[in-house]
Structure 1
Amino acid sequence: MTRVTTGLNDYRYVASLYIDHPTVDPDAITRGMPIKPDRICRIGDPKRTPREGFYDRTHWSVKLQTPADGDVAEFLSMVFERLDSSRALLTELADTGGRAEIFIGLFADRCCDFEMPPTLLANLASLSLGLRLDYYGPDRSPPTP
């Protein structure tokens, strides 16, 4: 977990990359990515939850290593540079019914802010990457590493 204490800001964040697709085998995703997944679920596998049933889509996810320092925008720029080599795969997944998103869990005890420049957002969009920001206020404890 990264902590940012710049100006009036005091927040922590964690991040992950999540991909799902209606038909692609997760091994094909793994072969095309510069990072290895922490978790995969194949179509047809039994769910690992109390709910009965089977996965109807491929799920592929990895917890992303956040830097010791650096705000969210700097981190996302590094993620873009790392995933740019997988542009063709990510575009193909999006074009065939899949989705890929970067999840940022933001933990703060008070108001905080940061800017994501248009160029950064355009870079992420060029990789067909969505961005999900979840805010956890003072009543939520951050996960332990």
Structure 2
Amino acid sequence: MNNESFSISLRTWHPAMSADALIQKIGLQPEIACSVGSRRANPSGELLDGFYPTSYCCFDMVREGFGDFTEALAPLLDQLDGKEDAFRQIASTGGRSELYVGVFVEGSSGFTLTGADIKRLAELSLELSVEVYP
């Protein structure tokens, strides 16, 4: 029995493009968005010292999944089909985009990505970041 659960977010950063421009390019509604040069704030909206050095958007793709996250990867990549140009433009102008996977485990764990999933990530100009939590 697999006791793993996971979440997957699409995260993107850009040194000059605004968060609104990133949102428009990607065509999804973010959970978190801030624009380069805007005043920093905590999650409740209270202003903090300093300004954001880059724009950042975080889009929840899978809030809570169960089992092996790699089984959810292909359907998630299907959702992002057609957005290749947006991710390429973000990357070619100094930004970056990634799928961030949080894996929550009991005991030891591991995963294998298929060649097809690796190829699709590359075609979408997406990085993959995986963090495992006990």
Tell me whether the two structures share a fold, i.e. TM-score over 0.5: yes
TM-score by length of 1: 0.80
Deviation >6 Å, runs of 4+: none
TM-score by length of 2: 0.87
Matches within 5 A, 1:107-122: 107-122=104-119
Q: Higher strand proportion, which one?
A: 2
Q: Which residue of 1 aligns with 2:76?
A: 79
Q: Is the 8 A contact 1:67 1:75 kept in 2?
A: no
Aligned-residue Cα RMSD (Å) equals 1.9
Task: Give the CA deviation at 1:121.
Answer: 0.9
> Which of 114, 121, 126 is the aligned partner of 1:124?
121
Q: 2:122 and 2:56 mapped to 1: Cα distance?
A: 20
Distance 1:70 1:84, change over 3 A: farther
Equivalent-residue separation in structure 2 for 1:78 and 1:25 (angstroms): 29
Counterpart position of 2:33: 40
Pairing partner for 2:10 from 8, 17, 39:
17
Contact 1:34 1:83 in 2 (8 A): no
- 2:51 counterpart SS class: coil
| Structure 2 spans left out of the alignment, 5+ residues | none
**For the Cα contact (< 8 Å) 2:6–2:64, is it kept in 1?**
no
Deviation at 1:43, TM superposition (A): 1.1
- What's the % identity of the aligned pairs? 27
Deviation, structure 1 residue 112: 1.9
